[in-house]
Amino acid sequence: MLYRPYEYQKTAMRWIMEKPHCGLFLDMGLGKTVSTLTALQELIDDCEISRVLVVAPKKVAEATWSTEAQKWDHLQALTVVKVLGTEKQRCAALAQKADVYVTSRDNFVWLVGKYGGQLPFDVLVIDELTSFKSAKSQRFKAMRIAVPSVKRVIGLTGTPAPNGLIDLWAQMYCIDQGERLGKSVSRYRETYFETHKWNNIVVRCDVKKGCAQIIRDKIADICLSMQARDYLQLPDMILHKVSVELSKKTAEAYAKFEREKVLEFKSEHGEEPANVLANSAAGLMNKLSQFANGAVYDDEKNAHDVHSDKLDRLAEIVEAANGNSVLVFYQFQHDIPRITERLKGLKVQVYHDERDLKQWNAGNIDVLLAHPASTAFGLNMQEGGHYIVWFGTGWNLELYQQANARLHRQGQKYPVQVYQLLCAGTVDERASAALEGKKGVQQSLLDSLNYLLRKYE
């Protein structure tokens, strides 16, 4: 595919090339990955660098960087290797000759230990810098050791919301080793924030009046901040189909589950007329969708966990929102406790009534869990956020469109980013395709049923 960068992407690329230690605070959807890879390619062509290490969230490390490099014509010569898997596999990947090596955040700690803190790379790219916000974490301590050994550091994250500034110290330290916000996180807090304590435990930090701009001014020489509403020349609602790769074991388990359920369905409902068959098909698709979401109900309505891959991807998207509120549409009741547990530490609220709506629009909820049937019509939620994640889309086009319209409506100040979490090789992909094809629910279910029946003939 031919790459035609927007002006803001050209600005981002120049920023990377001109500043050895820099941060790109770009909203989701602005193309941080392709901009970074393009700048790295130019630096390699100019013989300024030769080896790059990218540290990213696990799912992003598995797919995003290599996929982007393969997608664009101008990046075809760029060799990307994934340093993932077992220790033996990681060592084998590091032994390969490549331009870009991509590893996960957890494997980064191992990597720093392997090289004794002296990384054999020219450039260190920290994809989702906000995941290094805790100065007490092992990943931050490893980063603190490793950064002095590389010539260039690039930190990528979204534009921080005001309540995210408290976490900026550790992120900036990863880039400039404390040059701008100081060498101590406690001094940073004392200088710029009012702390509220309960029994000598800090429960909240509010930025002091005028200090938000002071913080931004201090880091402005190396951090480029761009908000989607100012730069994105695209329609107001942008859809992202996020492919969630299941582990080999889980993918095999799903394939077996799908086959068993389809053959069971065929033996029980094979002779039903089409109008009755559609209702029966809905039950089958629900079973398969439950597995894709990560848990399956038994006959007594008890939920049994089968995987957490979609939960992990959701957590990464919420993290990348960088303090902005996220509206998550769930599909099954068992999604609620599993999502809540995975996002522990954030203020997660299930939508019930007008009180929750007021809290959402006031910006007091980090993640609002809502079923599309309960929020699809009549609610003005655009003041509370501009990120939507579909944990499971379902098959109802009207509900899907109306639910998205809760944020994508008059009064919304930002482009609305809609993320569909789709487990690869599962019924998720067919449900998403059905919505895209704008067919009715009954026809979509019958088409998917026919596909599955043919698949296992």
pLDDT band at residue 203 using 50, 70 and 90 as cut-offs = low
pLDDT in tens, 239-248: 999 999 999 9
Work out the number of other CB atoms within 10 angstroms of the CB of residue 345.
6
Predicted local confidence at residue 273, as pLDDT: 61
Confidence of residue 229 (pLDDT cuts 50, 70, 90): low
SS3 409: coil
| DSSP per-residue string spanning 337-397 | HHHHHHTBTB-EEE--SHHHHHHHHTT--SEEEE-HHHHSSS---TTT-SEEEES---S-H
Q: What is the pLDDT of residue 439?
A: 72
| In contact, 125 and 53? CB cutoff 8 Å | yes
The pLDDT of residue 235 is above 60: no
Instruction: Assign 312 a pLDDT band (cuts: 50, 70, 90).
Output: very high
E strands in 199-351: 201-207, 223-226, 237-244, 295-297, 303-305, 326-329, 348-350
pLDDT at 260: 92
Residue carrying structure tokens 């891959």: 309
Q: Is the pLDDT of residue 108 over 60?
A: yes
Residue where the block lists tokens 């330290």: 173
Q: Each residue of 414-432: pLDDT tens digit? A: 889 999 999 999 999 999 9
Q: How many CA atoms lie within 13 A of 334 on its CB side?
A: 20
User: Mean pLDDT of all residues in the chain?
Assistant: 89
Encode pLDDT of 368-397 as tens digits: 999 998 876 657 788 899 999 999 999 888
Highest mean pLDDT among 6-15, 50-59, 117-126, 158-167: 117-126
What the chain holds in terms of domains, given with CATH numbers, is 7-231 (3.40.50.10810), 237-245+306-455 (3.40.50.300)
Q: pTM for this one? A: 0.69
413's tokens? 């100040």
Rounded mean pLDDT, 126-146: 93
Mean of the pLDDT values across residues 338-353? 94
